[in-house]
Amino acid sequence: MVPSTGYNKIRTAVLISGRGSNLKSLIKFSRSSQSPISIDFVISNKSKADGLNYAKKFKIKKKILNFKNKNLSEKKLLSILKINNINMICLAGFMKILSKNFIKKFKGKILNIHPSLLPKYKGLNTHKRVLNNKEKYSGCTVHFVNSRLDSGKIILQKKVKISKKETVASLSKKILVQEHKLYPKAILKVFNL
Ligand code: GAR
For 2-17, the pLDDT digits (tens) are 554 446 899 999 999 9
Stated pTM of the model:
0.95
What pLDDT shows up at residue 6? 45
Mean pLDDT, residues 164-169 taken together: 97
CA 10 to ligand 1 center in whole angstroms = 23
Distance from residue 113's CA to the centre of ligand 1 (Å): 7
Identify which of 29, 4, 3 has the alpha carbon closest to the alpha carbon of residue 142.
29
For CATH 3.40.50.170, the residue range(s) in the chain are 1-106
* Domain covering 1-106 in this structure, CATH number: 3.40.50.170
Q: Among this protein's residues, is 143 annotated catalytic?
A: no
Q: Ligand 1 centre and the CA of 6: distance in Å?
A: 31
> Would you state the pLDDT for residue 138?
98
Ligand 1 in reach of 19 Cβ (< 6 A): yes
Digit-coded pLDDT (tens) for 24-76: 999 999 999 999 999 999 999 999 999 999 999 999 999 999 999 999 999 99
User: Which residue, by CA, sits nearest to atom 14 of ligand 1?
Assistant: 114
For atom 7 of ligand 1, which residue has the closest CA?
93
Element (H, E) at 192: none
Mutate to test the pocket of ligand 1, among 14, 17, 19 (most ligand atoms within 8 A of CB): 19
Among the listed residues 133, 132, 152, 129, the one whose alpha carbon sits nearest the alpha carbon of residue 142: 152
* pLDDT-derived band at 1, boundaries 50, 70, 90: low
CA distance to 9, 13, 168, 169, per residue, from 173 (Å): 31, 25, 8, 6
Q: Within a 10 A sphere around the Cβ of 115, how many other Cβ atoms? A: 20
The atom of ligand 1 lying closest to the CA of 20 is: 16
Q: What are the pLDDT digits (tens) for 83-139?
A: 999 999 999 999 999 999 999 999 899 999 999 999 999 999 999 999 999 999 999
Ligand 1 pocket check for 36: Cβ under 6 Å? no
Instruction: Judge if the beta carbon of residue 20 lies within 6 A of ligand 1.
Output: yes
Residue 59 is inside which H or E element, if any?
Answer: none
Catalytic residue among 114, 127, 143, 180: 114
